[in-house]
Chain A
Amino acid sequence: DIVMTQAPLSVSVTPGESASISCRSSKSLLHSNGITYVYWYLQKPGKSPQLLIYRMSDLASGVPDRFSGSGSETDFTLKISRVEAEDVGIYYCGQLLENPNTFGAGTKLEL
């Protein structure tokens, strides 16, 4: 299985400032079709996960452009600009390159 390792486990941010979350995969997530199959999700307290970023850098529908994704074949970053109170929750990276699809342990963002 592809292991997804996130850092840090938790991050505390002042509203209005930026935050970055890192994710590393145990195998390249770059497919021969040129797509990098890494995804970012936010799970707000008591809620289901919601998709933020797909294919490493594409913003999901309805997601504010304060969120952005970047990376290489195995190292990925989610950046949140101008953090707001509604951004609180646990952020997960995940991969869709291979089955089983796997997720990182999560990064808890607090204000």
Chain B
Amino acid sequence: QVTLKESGPGMLQPSKTLSLTCSFSGFSLNTSGMVVNWFRQPSGKSLEWLAAIDWDGDKYYNPSLKSRLTFSKDTSNTQVFLKITSVDIADTATYYCARRLRGSGFDYWGQGVMVTVSS
């Protein structure tokens, strides 16, 4: 059974660093073609793809946010981490992680974690 679950601080102040964790099971990030992705969705708005890490350890970032994003994974390949530096109110959103196997689409998503940036 494939599952993903996001965790985060819930609320943080502007200018701080947001740290998010995606814990997953039921699949291996070592599988050829496997990619784990981060997205966010402000309330009432569409989805924004943020970053991805693939089975080779290669990382991909949305150019609009690249300077503020850092994507990493743990050595057991059961968790991935996303850090967003210098957060602003505009970073308030629900953050999701999802997996993709090659071109088959984002077929499993986490439940999402809501993050509010407020002073």
CB within 8 Å: A-B pair count: 57
Q: Which residue of chain A lies nearest to B48 when distances are taken between CB atoms in the complex?
A: A103
- Which residues of the partner chain B approach A105 to less than 8 Å between Cβ atoms? 46
Residue count of chain B within 8 Å CB distance of chain A: 22
- Which residues of the partner chain A approach B64 to less than 8 Å between Cβ atoms? 100
- Is there contact, CB below 8 Å, between B111 and A48? yes
Contact digits for A49-77, partner B, Cβ 8 Å, 1 yes 0 no: 11101110000110000000000000000
Main secondary structure of the interface of A (DSSP, over half): loop
Answer whether residue B47 sits at the interface, using C-beta atoms and an 8 A cutoff.
yes
Cα–Cα, bound, A102→B110 (Å): 19
Checking B48, B100, B103 against A35 with a beta-carbon cut-off of 8 angstroms, the contacting residue is B103
Answer whether residue B71 sits at the interface, using C-beta atoms and an 8 A cutoff.
no
Answer whether residue B104 sits at the interface, using C-beta atoms and an 8 A cutoff.
yes
Cα–Cα, bound, A39→B109 (Å): 15
- Is there contact, CB below 8 Å, between B46 and A48? no
Distance to closest chain A CB from B54 (angstroms): 11
- Is there contact, CB below 8 Å, between A94 and B47? yes
| Contacts A94-B47, A100-B63, A106-B46 given; does A61 touch B107 at CB 8 Å | yes
| Contacts A48-B112, A99-B60, A100-B62 given; does A54 touch B49 at CB 8 Å | no
Cα–Cα, bound, A32→B95 (Å): 33
| Contacts A41-B106, A54-B103, A96-B103 given; does A49 touch B60 at CB 8 Å | no
Instruction: Identify which of B96, B100, B104, B111 gathers the most chain A CB atoms within 10 Å of its CB.
Output: B104
- Is there contact, CB below 8 Å, between A55 and B103? yes
Answer whether residue B105 sits at the interface, using C-beta atoms and an 8 A cutoff.
yes
Checking B47, B107, B111, B112 against A51 with a beta-carbon cut-off of 8 angstroms, the contacting residue is B107
